């Protein structure tokens, strides 16, 4: 399932457009469960995010037939005593009661994908929620509408859409390893002179617990180094240049082990 790639296409707000992704999604829902992409390395590699959220196959599609139903929350915060909801999804035939929950009323209705009209019925009156989108029909009455999209039900997709909408304003923690925005270039920045500028951060002491400097007791295998701290991994350590030879080392994680590599380089 090209989760990651299709997510990229849907770059815009995600709140209005019915994404093209939907078609593809249906395909993936109809896939048999046991035919997971686990065994195909290529697919598996691309769809990494989806291995954690094997998405579209929800319980409804797996164990029952018919269109996939997606839970949709309806909430009424305008007060009242008896609150119901009614909509195009049940042909305006029956009124579904909302449950009171600390100041508001709510219910969850499983709806098929698409646009649905609905209206609240509060203490005998038909009311629309002014804070939700509305639409007027041929009869001239105005109803609330809700758009139910498959993408809203994939937790990580939904969160990805949400974060895309807010992300640009704020940068995330720079030490988290993701590639920062911007392009590579060869522009040397102008040196800041004068004014106050904060200095570089203090060296974290953990980086100086150099495993190669630690003594190995005489009775153990000398090539066995003490276990490194995860923060010292991937950093460059060096010996002072002596007799025209530069010696460099770095420790990397390899599966459940750590491997330290040394390079003796004449200069």
Partner 1 sequence: MAEKSNQPQVKIGHYILGETLGAGTFGKVKIAKHQLTGHKVAVKILNRQKLKSLDVVGKIKREIQNLKLFRHPHIIKLYQVMSTPTDIFMVMEFVAGGELFDYIVKHGRLKEVEARRFFQQIISGINYCHKHMVVHRDLKPENLLLDSFGSVKIADFGLSNMMHDGEFLRTSCGSPNYAAPEVISGKLYAGPEVDIWSCGVILYALLCGTLPFDDEHVPTLFRKIKSGIFAIPDYLSKEVVSFLCHMLQVDPLKRATISSIIEHEWFKKDLPAYLFPSPNDQDASIVDVDVVREVCDKFSVSEDDVHRAILSGDPHDQLAIAYNLIIDNQRMADETSKIDFHEFYLASSPPPESFLTASSPHRPAHPERMGEMKDINQTLDPVPSVGPGKTQPVPKKAKWHLGIRSQSKPQDIMHEVFRAMKSLNYEWKIINTYHVRARKRNSITNRFTKMSLQLYQVDQKSFLLDFKSLTHDAENNFNNEIDGHLTQSKSDDRMEIDGDSEGQCHQTLEFFEMCANLITALAH
Which residue lies nearer to partner 1 by CB, 125 or 192? 192
62 sits near partner 1 (criterion: CB under 8 A) = yes
Minimal distance, residue 139 CB to partner 1, in Å: 22
Measured CA to CA in angstroms, residue 140 lies from 136, 137, 144, 267 at distances of 6, 5, 13, 85
CA–CA gap between residue 154 and residue 152 (Å, rounded): 6
Which residue lies nearer to partner 1 by CB, 136 or 261? 261
Minimal distance, residue 220 CB to partner 1, in Å: 5
Q: What is the DSSP letter of 209?
A: -
Minimal distance, residue 26 CB to partner 1, in Å: 17
Minimal distance, residue 50 CB to partner 1, in Å: 9
CA–CA gap between residue 207 and residue 20 (Å, rounded): 49
CB neighbours of residue 157 within 10 Å = 27
Residue 211 CA to its chain's centroid (Å):
36
Kindly indicate which of the ranges 23-31, 71-79, 122-130, 133-141 contains the residues binding partner 1, using the contact rule CB under 8 A.
Answer: 71-79
Q: Is the dihedral of CA 253, 42, 35, 153 positive or negative?
A: positive
Kindly indicate which of the ranges 16-24, 122-130, 133-141, 142-150 contains the residues binding partner 1, using the contact rule CB under 8 A.
Answer: 142-150
Measured CA to CA in angstroms, residue 258 lies from 33, 49, 122, 232 at distances of 37, 26, 65, 11
CA–CA gap between residue 164 and residue 169 (Å, rounded): 10
For the record, the structure tokens of 42 come out as: 């290529």
Q: What is the DSSP letter of 177?
A: -
Contact with partner 1 (CB under 8 A): which of 11, 23, 188, 244?
Answer: 188
CB neighbours of residue 3 within 10 Å = 25
Minimal distance, residue 19 CB to partner 1, in Å: 14
Contact with partner 1 (CB under 8 A): which of 136, 139, 195, 220?
Answer: 220
Binding map of partner 1 across residues 92-131, x = CB under 8 A, - = no contact: -xxxxxxx-xx---xxx-----------------------
Contact with partner 1 (CB under 8 A): which of 65, 124, 140, 203?
Answer: 203
Contact with partner 1 (CB under 8 A): which of 9, 30, 51, 134?
Answer: 51
Q: Which of residues 17-46 bind partner 1 (CB under 8 A)?
A: 33-34, 36, 38, 41, 44-45
Which residue lies nearer to partner 1 by CB, 140 or 217? 217
CA–CA gap between residue 179 and residue 190 (Å, rounded): 23
CA–CA gap between residue 252 and residue 224 (Å, rounded): 14
16 sits near partner 1 (criterion: CB under 8 A) = no
Question: In this structure, are residues 67 and 26 in contact, taking their beta carbons and an 8 Å threshold?
Answer: no
Which residue lies nearer to partner 1 by CB, 102 or 138? 102
Q: Which of residues 146-185 bind partner 1 (CB under 8 A)?
A: 146-149, 152-156, 158-160, 162-163, 165-167, 169-170, 172-180, 182-185
């Amino acid at each position: 399932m090209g989760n990651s790639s299709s997510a990229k296409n849907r770059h815009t707000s995600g709140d209005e457009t019915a994404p093209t992704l939907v078609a593809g999604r249906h395909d993936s829902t109809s896939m048999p469960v046991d035919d997971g992409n686990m065994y195909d390395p290529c697919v598996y590699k691309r769809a990494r995010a989806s291995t954690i959220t094997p998405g579209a196959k929800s319980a409804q599609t797996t164990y029952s037939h018919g269109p996939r139903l997606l839970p949709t929350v309806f909430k009424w915060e305008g007060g009242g005593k008896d609150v119901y909801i009614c909509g195009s999804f049940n042909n305006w035939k029956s009124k579904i009661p909302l449950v009171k929950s600390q100041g508001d009323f709510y219910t969850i209705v499983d709806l098929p994908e698409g646009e649905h009209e609905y209206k609240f019925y509060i203490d005998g009156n038909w009311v629309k929620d002014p804070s939700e989108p509305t639409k007027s029909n041929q009869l001239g009455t105005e109803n609330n509408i809700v758009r139910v999209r498959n993408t809203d039900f994939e937790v990580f997709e939904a969160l990805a859409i949400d974060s895309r909408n807010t992300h640009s304003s704020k940068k995330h923690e720079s030490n988290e390893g993701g590639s920062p925005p911007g392009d590579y270039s060869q522009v040397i920045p102008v040196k800041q002179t004068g004014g106050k500028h904060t200095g570089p951060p203090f060296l974290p002491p953990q980086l100086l617990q150099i495993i190669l400097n630690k003594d190995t007791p005489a009775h153990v295998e000398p090539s066995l180094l003490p276990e490194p701290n995860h923060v010292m991994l991937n950093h460059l350590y060096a010996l002072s240049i002596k007799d025209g030879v530069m010696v460099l080392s770095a420790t990397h994680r390899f599966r459940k082990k750590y491997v330290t590599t040394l390079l003796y380089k004449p200069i």
